[in-house]
Structure 1
Amino acid sequence: MFDIEFDPAAPGRLVDALAEGSRAEARLIAARMAAVADLLAQRTAELNVEGVHPNYMIVTGFARASAEVGAALNLTKGAASRLVEQAEALRDRLPHLAALLAAGQTDWRTVEIVLARTRFVSSKVMAQIDSELAEQVGGWQCWSDGRITTTVDAKVKLLDPAAIAEREHATDRRRVEVKPLGDGTAKVDAIVTTRAGLAFDAKLSEMSGRLCPKDPRSNDQRRADAIEALAEGRELSCECGRAECPTRSAAPQSESSSPRVVFNVIADRDTVLSGGQAPGYVLGYGVIDAEQVRELAAEATMRLVTEPQVDAAAALRYQPTVSVQRWVRCRDLTCRFPGCEHPAEDCDIDHTVPFDHNKPALGGLTVPANLKCLCRFHHRLKTFGGWRDTQYPDGSVVWTSPSGKTYRTTPGGADLFNSFAPVPCGQPKAARPPKLSRAARVEQSRAKNRRLRPVNEAYRYTQSARRRELDRRRNRNRMRATLKLFKGDEPSTSPYCTWINDPFEPEELPPDWEPPPPRPPDPENPPF
């Protein structure tokens, strides 16, 4: 019970506070999406302006922006890429709707539905849809997700029918995911074709329906157990316990007929042998409880995993030994980039200090203290995307982004198992840069503007001159072709276009083509 006196006006004030909080949340989301879109624009533009090494452009501006967003917001690669894609679409394709979100006149739920349902709309039609939706969205506050989706789909189908996702797009999203729930169970999430879904549903119903009425499980539990039976290639057995039951537990299959499934489990020695309660970890899956560890260990091949001692010859070889790879994957559990949860067993083994192939003794050694797991995307990002990393003896890695931000990741195994627990390593804390005064920050911005202005002006002038030169050549070639059509090989005698008798000009400019120098401004004529 709440020991307060009822105030008739209080509920109204609280509801007003909720509404204002929702509007403030919308404004904050709009500001975040604008910042993400601006970051994407910066990371894309710098590839065109700066004189960087060609390898630097292997990683696109979108990928580099997604990596920084994922690290800053602790998002996975997929979630960060989706956020950057939404921010770009909101800025470039739905500016009117973005303005309403920034003003708190709509919510992110509505905007996210519009983004998803207009993904394939052409740019010409998108402007009209954005304008019309911005006028109507104010009346959607009480609408459900389904009603908003139906309204947007109807408008898209009227203006751009080709943008409606047809069956060939939907079937491309087929997938099956198994996610641990942390309580000894797992969630199977799948998108399959209608035919496969109906067949799977009918098979589960058939298997669960064969059991006798005395089976103690519910229908949902029987269908869930039927999935395990399907995976193991056997019939679903009854659990009533009666000897006369026609569907009681059958004899186990022979080892040759049973499908062999291999997966790796990490657990403490005490959990496996002494009844300890520390959880275990299945690589690529997640945490399981101690009882499940012992059930699996009863029929498994066990191997003691300890940090290997690497001799001098092995440390100078690029390829890690099998024992080193096993130790690093068990220590890290996942990709070591901030926010990434890609399983370690599918990751590359990366040298933090690069291995010197010409003189291995001078480069990074192939030892656990210099190795970590990186998925292929983040491995390429580190190599070509401007990210820098430092690894410490306790396995922690400090990442520095191209914008100078630092992020620290620790090995996942250290959080679960004492064998991987970090030891004090005297790692220094990241030095905080001195705080600059407002005048110093303004002067930094002004100096940057002074440095970039001539570079950007020269780039824009060169691009404009290239377009003008190509247009001039195309026009002249078109006139030469017209002359040849009407007069054949007879030259023109006009004194105004003497160049028309010249050979056709190439309509591609060489890479080293330089435009003529810009003419100085005429003081007699205004610049407009």
Structure 2
Amino acid sequence: MTTTHPFTNQNSDPLTEALTTKFEQRFEPPPGFTTTTAPATEVLVPDAFSRWDPGQQRGYLAQRAINAAEGGTVVYAYACVRRATEHDEQRDPLDTAATMVGASMALSRRGAFRLVTTAVELIERLPRTAALLTTGWIGVHAAHAIAEETAMVEDTLIPELDRRICEGLAPTRRRTHPPRIGPLRKMLSKHVAACDPVGADARAQQTRRDQNVRMTPISGDHARITATLTAVGALEIADRIEALIRTASADDPRTSGQLRAAGLLALSRRWTCLPEPDGSHPTDPAAQDAVRRVIIHSYDDGDPDFRGLFLTGYGPVSGHTAVELQRTARRRLDALDTLADPDSEAARRYSPSEALSHFCRGRDGTCVFPGCQTPADKTDLDHIIPFDHDDPGRGGHTTSDDLGCLCRTHHRLKTEGLWAYYRNPEGVYVWIHGPNHPDRDPGTRIMSVPNGPLAQFAAPRHPERSCLQQESAEAGRTGDGVAGSRHWPHRRQRRHTERRYLRAQAEQRLRPTVGSAEQPQA
């Protein structure tokens, strides 16, 4: 492979130059934007690159430049780890770095932790492979796959594995692009098994911990259920669904996909036959109500022009679905002035009422830390100004103006003084560096806008509370417990412990059983 600059224009064709010039002349940044120059970098290309036509070269360089930019995010994540480690050896640097990455790149908590973990694994254990990322040959998704597949390999065997991976990623006469994720994982499994059979077995056991079922809302009042299971478990469920499909009548109007979806629903209800197209049991219409023991919370923002509802854990649904749900729904109305009253008796209690909890979660939608996507119903209700248990009148109040939704991770880091925040008079959350932030800068202001179904009511009813919150945040009064909530061991140590534990189990499984050889017959 050879290196070249991604922005060279020596081989560009006249049409491309004309289109580029036309675009640059017409482009004017919209309000709120300005332009800046991004850093350029050299990228890796195959030796055959010089023989390609200019159009192919331009497209190829564009992809390499994208990969190199993704490599820059990994380098940035590792720089955050270094700064966090140098600033405070007691706090977990990976936790601190993940919040820095998440805030600056608007990544979810899971995405930020994954990027930080990949940065540590590649830069500290696979430097040659990391170089392929920073020079644009592979992208960040490939980097994630490499970091995950090599996580259980012994440190002493990593250099040889790093060399094999680089050779396996190199272009060939038949392949001028990096392998895609599927073939890449197969190649990685092959090299890991060759270099470290114990690590390969430990990795197989580690993947069992990744089993999960997730629900993702999609359009049209539908949701997508994704499951990560063992191969045996997935085949068992698929076979059961196929068996249920065979119970459908010959004139059933549903497609095969609809029948499989109905089969999965029947499994969850422990039915031995498919439900009718309307969801009822074929022979017992009351069976649906008998098995449904789930309470669904929904929000109605009161807008007369909006005929739908917002379901907690899903999002907005159409008027048709809303009408069906409202037939058996129980409504609850609460005055916002009551929930925000700082002089009420409830404002002096630490625990919020059920009505206040539902409103705050419906207003914020998710954790209010920038980029975090943890649903509000899975978060803590945090007192923006810490609650004073000795004198409730002096501290933060338990009102809608003084509470924000924070996931447990960002709640802890806010309490430990790495971050602070307040709600401005428009209801937008403003995050600043706390007194213990590794790169504390008084000028930092990162905005986070509530995105729940009740976000239109986010503005505080008592704007003076915003001024008090801002003063508390800028003064570094983020709460007590700063010294007592430091966690040990750190994530890095926990990963090493997990590696040793899973490798020990793998060695025991792979060790030949003593005396298991068949004895010769007399």
TM-score of the superposed pair, with normalisation by structure 2: 0.70
Alignment of 1:8-87 (within 5 A): 12-48=53-89, 57=90, 59-87=91-119
Instruction: Measure how far apart 1:108 and its partner are.
Output: 4.2
Q: Please tell me whether residue 303 in structure 1 is matched to residue 332 in structure 2.
A: yes
Q: Which has the higher contact order (CA 8 A, sep 6+)?
A: 2
Partner of 1:171: 208
Q: Percent identity?
A: 27
Find the residue that maps to 1:164 and give its secondary structure: helix
Find the residue that maps to 1:368 and give its secondary structure: coil
Find the residue that maps to 2:352 and give its secondary structure: coil
Partner of 1:412: 451
Q: Please tell me whether residue 187 in structure 1 is matched to residue 237 in structure 2.
A: no
Instruction: Measure how far apart 1:216 and its partner are.
Output: 0.9
Matches of 1:383 and 1:254, distance apart in 2 = 49
The 8 Å contact of residues 265 and 281 in structure 1, kept in 2 or not, is answered as yes
Matches of 1:190 and 1:133, distance apart in 2 = 30
The 8 Å contact of residues 307 and 322 in structure 2, kept in 1 or not, is answered as no
The 8 Å contact of residues 153 and 192 in structure 2, kept in 1 or not, is answered as yes
The 8 Å contact of residues 268 and 417 in structure 1, kept in 2 or not, is answered as no
The 8 Å contact of residues 314 and 320 in structure 1, kept in 2 or not, is answered as yes
Partner of 2:169: 137
How many residue pairs match? The answer is 403
Matches of 1:250 and 1:148, distance apart in 2 = 51
Q: Which amino acid aligns with 2:186?
A: T
Matches of 2:248 and 2:277, distance apart in 1 = 9
TM-score of the superposed pair, with normalisation by structure 1: 0.69
Unaligned residue ranges in structure 2 (runs of 5+): 1-13, 20-51, 471-522
Matches of 2:284 and 2:389, distance apart in 1 = 58
The more displaced of 368-377 and 97-106 is: 97-106
Partner of 2:22: none
Matches of 1:110 and 1:194, distance apart in 2 = 23
Q: Please tell me whether residue 314 in structure 1 is matched to residue 346 in structure 2.
A: yes
Partner of 1:258: 291
Indicate how the Cα distance of structure 1 residues 146 and 12 shifts in structure 2: closer, same or farther if over 3 A, else same.
same
CA deviations 1:195-246 (Å, max 9, x no partner) are 4323322222222211211111112111112223333444424559xxxxxx
Matches of 2:256 and 2:59, distance apart in 1 = 42
Q: Which amino acid aligns with 2:205?
A: E
Matches of 1:18 and 1:145, distance apart in 2 = 20
The more displaced of 249-258 and 370-379 is: 249-258
Matches of 1:256 and 1:220, distance apart in 2 = 25
Structure showing greater Rg: 1
Instruction: Measure how far apart 1:322 and its partner are.
Output: 2.5
Instruction: Measure how far apart 1:194 and its partner are.
Output: 3.8
Query: Aligned Cα RMSD in Å?
Result: 3.1
Unaligned residue ranges in structure 1 (runs of 5+): 49-56, 241-246, 432-528
Find the residue that maps to 1:303 and give its secondary structure: coil
Partner of 1:465: none
The 8 Å contact of residues 308 and 324 in structure 1, kept in 2 or not, is answered as no
Alignment of 1:51-450 (within 5 A): 57=90, 59-139=91-171, 141-142=176-177, 143-165=179-201, 167-234=204-271, 235-238=273-276, 249-253=282-286, 257-269=290-302, 276-309=305-338, 310=341, 311-401=343-433, 402=437, 403=439, 404=441, 405-413=444-452, 418-419=456-457
Q: Which amino acid aligns with 1:261?
A: V
Instruction: Measure how far apart 1:165 and its partner are.
Output: 4.5
Matches of 1:132 and 1:237, distance apart in 2 = 53
The 8 Å contact of residues 269 and 291 in structure 2, kept in 1 or not, is answered as yes
Matches of 1:267 and 1:344, distance apart in 2 = 17
The 8 Å contact of residues 352 and 370 in structure 1, kept in 2 or not, is answered as yes
The 8 Å contact of residues 64 and 385 in structure 1, kept in 2 or not, is answered as no
Matches of 2:357 and 2:104, distance apart in 1 = 29
Partner of 1:451: none
Matches of 1:286 and 1:338, distance apart in 2 = 20
The 8 Å contact of residues 75 and 340 in structure 1, kept in 2 or not, is answered as yes
Partner of 2:499: none
Matches of 2:330 and 2:383, distance apart in 1 = 30
The 8 Å contact of residues 264 and 282 in structure 1, kept in 2 or not, is answered as yes
CA deviations 1:139-182 (Å, max 9, x no partner) are 26444444333332222212111111554323222211111113
